[in-house]
A and B are shown apart, each in its own frame.
Chain A
Amino acid sequence: MNAQASLIPKLVAIAVIACVPLSGESFYIEIVGKMLVMAIFAMSLDLLVGFTGLVSFGHAAYFGIAAYAVAILSPQYEAASLWYVLPASVALAALAAFVIGLFVLRTKGIYFIMVTLAFAQMAYFIFHDTPLGGGSDGTYLNNKPSASILGWEPFDLNNEVHLFYFILATMVLVYLFLARVLQSPFGRVLVGIKSNEHRMQSLGYFTFRYKLGAFTLAGGLGGLAGFLYAVLFGFVTPELLSWHESGNVLLMVILGGMGNLAGVIAGAFAFEMMREVFADITKYWQLLMGGVIVAVVLFLPGGLAGIPGRIKRAMQGGDSK
């Protein structure tokens, strides 16, 4: 696809999102902020699922670990420095992903799905059963990190508008970063592993190292999303690591069409909107959500990103493949 042509809709989308704080409604600023956080989370998982072909069903673990890290590393009565807690939380999530990756990447296929889930569950129980992060009740992040550098404060995360733009800028940076990674030799190898790992091995690549690199990077970026989530909402609970969250983010990736970063962002937005709308109109939103999921799998392989192609094909005459 022509890069110029695909750039314009993206810029328009970012511009539209950037206008949200103009509404002045805290409710919308927070919801769209959450969507942006989820978009980062979903992109990090897409690196594994969509580009490397590793279906991780425990990605919420890294999200939750970083979220807990901010809450635990921040002092109780004053704000921590953003420039310390942000890298520390992300590094902890990446470290956890690295260690877990050493185990789970020994397996493939169905095993991999189950084992990633089991390790995430282990992390869940660590926070749920031990007093480390307040047990099953979770814990509060009383003071949002301060962005001050030697007394100069470029922005204030306590200000919801500043926080919103901070999250938006982070999401755009993550998008650009991942797009760049995928163009790099490292990213090329990952895509090669997805299409045929044996071929990559026989070409002389130590695929395990590349997969471990991708797993660690995805864990770190998932952690970045978890960090932002904790800062946005100010509290963390073990449920952030639960397998429902892992399932939801996987859903965002599929919904958006895996292996398509922009599509996955759309998937995260669509998922969160669906959740809000369904929860609004009915208390039985899970039933609708479940129905939508089943319908997407049965009737819409390729996700939202596949819809334009389907329409195009339908207009060109239904029988052409």
Chain B
Amino acid sequence: MDFASFLIQTLNSLQYGLLLFLVASGLTLVFGIMGIINLAHGSFYMIGAYLAFVLTSATGSLVFAIALGIPLALVFGAFLEWALFSHLYKRDHLEQVLLTYGLILIFEQLRSLLVGDDVHGVAIPAFLDASIQLTEVMSYPVYRLAISVVCIALAIALYYVIQRTRLGMMIRAGNDDRTMVESLGININMIYRVVFALGVALAALAGMLAAPISSVFPNMGSHVLIISFVIVVIGGIGSVWGALVAALIVGFADTFGKVLVPELSGIVVYVVMAVVLLWRPEGILKKG
């Protein structure tokens, strides 16, 4: 592998890993704080991608689609938390698995009813539709770089919110001991709703950003969901920074796996997970 293709694969790994981080960070927060296993989290990614498709067709640009899509996803997340997930906090994991599994079926069918089962493309916004020439034959698309930049900015923002704001303090406290937080007079239900809506919005945003690269297709959420599980397992439940590290590990393992051992590319990520499990069954960074 020469340097230019190595650079391209490295950038691809970063971009893929960071995008996965957007999905996994919401998932790990919902696990860590609310104690809920949410199989439907991948559906939010799928819904985001389809929102990008529908709204881009309607407004003419992915930028507008994202600007409209994020508030929609936030409201949708808050609604779901109120209508369904708030009933699951005291239930056991099995029932959470079931209910969220049922939700996947419902979301996929609704998607099929409303948008159909075809594969759709989404146009890259005009001002990002270019590529950087690396060598005479190889170039790197600006849009992929833009995704990485947006994701890094979001990771920093997430860091700031969680570490430096009052809301973040409450989220971290809720992660450690929810009974104590409640007894201190903090409205834990409000925190749950905010965290859940945030998780939905992040996953949907990941879907919207990914739409022009991966195109939009049925069941696109399920692969992302399972990879996100792997990330949460590697990173440690409830740890956002663990999720970031793990997402990058997975991004690199998957991307370079596809290049170096194409036949086994689907398996590489799971082998990484198995190794981490042997080494640290609780994940690289447990709750932090």
A: which residues have CB within 8 A of B? 49, 55, 57, 103-104, 106-107, 109-111, 113-115, 117-119, 121-122, 125-126, 128-130, 243, 247, 250-251, 254, 258, 284, 286-287, 289-294, 296-298, 301
Contacts and interface: CB of A to CB of B under 8 A. Distances in A.
B267 interface: yes
Interface in B66-103: 84, 87, 91, 93-95, 97-99, 101-103
B264 A129 contact: yes
Contact of B99 (A258, A287, A298): A298
Contact of B101 (A107, A247, A258, A301): A247
B37 A293 contact: no
B277 A107 contact: yes
Q: Pick from B102, B106, B277 the residue with the most CB of A within 10 Å.
A: B102
A250 B95 CA distance: 10
Given A118-B230, A293-B101, A301-B95, 13 more contacts: A55-B93, A55-B94, A103-B278, A117-B229, A126-B266, A129-B266, A250-B101, A251-B101, A254-B98, A284-B113, A294-B99, A296-B98, A297-B99
Nearest to B270: A122
Contacts of B264: 129-130
A130 B262 CA distance: 10
Given A126-B267, A297-B98, A114 B229 contact: yes
Contacts of A289: 102, 105
A110 B31 CA distance: 8
Nearest to B39: A247
Interface in B26-71: 31, 35, 37, 39
B203 interface: no
B87 A298 contact: yes
A287 B106 contact: yes
Given A106-B277, A110-B37, A243-B222, A293 B99 contact: yes
Interface string B255-288: 0000000011111001101100110011000000
Contact of B106 (A247, A251, A286): A286
A114 B102 contact: no
Contacts of B84: 294, 298
Nearest to A124: B266
Contacts of A254: 94-95, 98
B273 to A, nearest CB: 6
A164 to B, nearest CB: 30
B234 to A, nearest CB: 10
Nearest to A129: B266
Nearest to B107: A290
Given A121-B270, A125-B267, A129-B265, A110 B98 contact: no
B97 A57 contact: yes
Contacts of A118: 226, 229-230, 233, 270, 273
A286 B103 CA distance: 10
Which 7 interchain pairs have the tightest Cβ spacing? A125-B266, A293-B102, A290-B105, A122-B270, A290-B106, A287-B109, A114-B229
B237 interface: yes
B226 A294 contact: no
A123 B250 CA distance: 18
20 contacts: A55-B93, A114-B229, A115-B273, A118-B233, A118-B273, A129-B267, A130-B264, A247-B101, A250-B94, A250-B98, A258-B94, A286-B105, A287-B105, A287-B113, A290-B102, A290-B106, A293-B102, A294-B106, A298-B87, A301-B95
